[in-house]
Amino acid sequence: MSILVDRQTRVLVQGITGRVGRIQTRFMLDYGTNVVGGVSPGKGGEIVEGVPVFNTVDEAVAQRGAEASVFFIPPPAVKEAAIQTIKAGIKLIVVVTEHIPVHDVMGIREYAQDTNTWLIGPTSPGVITPGEAKIGILPGNMFKPGRIGIISRSGTLSYEISVNLATANLGQSTVVGIGADPVVLTNIPELLELFEKDPETDLVVIVGEVGGSQEQHAAEFIDRWMTKPVVAYIAGHNAPEGKRMGHAGAIIEDGSGTRESKAAALHQVGVKVARYPAEVVKLVEESLRSR
């Protein structure tokens, strides 16, 4: 497999009986994802899009061998569900849900620390290994199988960059949307490490944006550990200071978190940083050629 998910991964949909859960289950199945079950308390025994629904995650794991799970559940329910899901032994949880209180996210993070479950999100568009499987809401037709790993703080911008790369015949091994909240459950460096070890990935693209310090930490990691080339695009060089630009984490405060400071940190450790999204294609081509 590439990283995190492949066509064999046995996926569970939590919140499968809701409007979004239902539609997205259909889209995931159409893409080829191995959706083995859904969870919706009190609705065990129903069938949604041909998928059996269970009352609890424990039942779904026992009866269907679920290994990964995606959350389409309301924000107040996420913290408890995440802890239950980790306890049930699920190895990958993708949290699509938006507007989870940040104290709850910190609580989940603390609980997950000493476990070996990967949690992606919240506010994640999902994870896709093109041509194999997708977990989340990413539109499948924007991606193409290949050898480039992508880590993105933004959903739609990861589609833009993937579809531009795909059009230039540069497919992706896996694309991960880490989510755009101020606190996320998995940071960029942890995913860089997975891509560095993945034999099916030749190069990694980081899609960042203003606010926070993810990109600076990525630069430190790249400097110490990465042997594969990395290309980056950081959105927001025209973003005004002190305004939250749609994502809770996307804000320039006290002059920090600017596009320039992030680009400089990455540039310094040998990362090619694009000024505009389509330039990523050119920089990826250059990096692959000079390898």
Q: 76 is written with which tokens?
A: 């107040």
Compare residues 56 and 187 and give the one whose CB is closer to another protein.
187
Footprint of another protein (CB under 8 A): 20, 23-24, 75-76, 98-103, 105-107, 109-111, 123, 125, 137, 139, 141-142, 152-160, 163-164, 167, 180-185, 187, 207, 209-210, 212-214, 217, 233, 235-240, 242-250, 254, 275-278
* Distance in Å, CB of 8 to another protein, minimum: 26
User: Which amino acid appears at position 40 of this protein?
Assistant: S
* Distance in Å, CB of 155 to another protein, minimum: 5
Choosing from 99, 103, 217, 247, the catalytic residue is: 247
Residues 146/150/154/159 CA torsion (nearest 10 deg): -10
Compare residues 66 and 251 and give the one whose CB is closer to another protein.
251
* Distance in Å, CB of 104 to another protein, minimum: 8
Closest Cα partner for 3 from 154, 162, 152, 128? Answer: 128
Q: Is 247 a catalytic residue?
A: yes
* Distance in Å, CB of 199 to another protein, minimum: 29
Report the relative pairing of strands 68-71 and 92-95 from DSSP bridges.
parallel
Compare residues 56 and 213 and give the one whose CB is closer to another protein.
213
User: Residue 212: which region, alpha, beta or left (left: phi > 0; alpha: psi -120 to 50)?
Assistant: left
8 Å CB contact between 121 and 215: no
Strand ranges for the chain from DSSP E: 11-14, 35-39, 47-48, 51-54, 68-71, 92-95, 118-120, 126-129, 133-136, 145-152, 172-177, 203-209, 230-235, 272-274
CA distance 122 to 263: 25
Place of tokens 């997708």: 134
Closest Cα partner for 194 from 213, 167, 176, 169? Answer: 176
* Distance in Å, CB of 166 to another protein, minimum: 8
CA distance 58 to 2: 27
* Distance in Å, CB of 10 to another protein, minimum: 24
8 Å CB contact between 258 and 234: no
Compare residues 66 and 176 and give the one whose CB is closer to another protein.
176
Compare residues 41 and 107 and give the one whose CB is closer to another protein.
107
Compare residues 44 and 182 and give the one whose CB is closer to another protein.
182
Residues catalogued as catalytic: 247
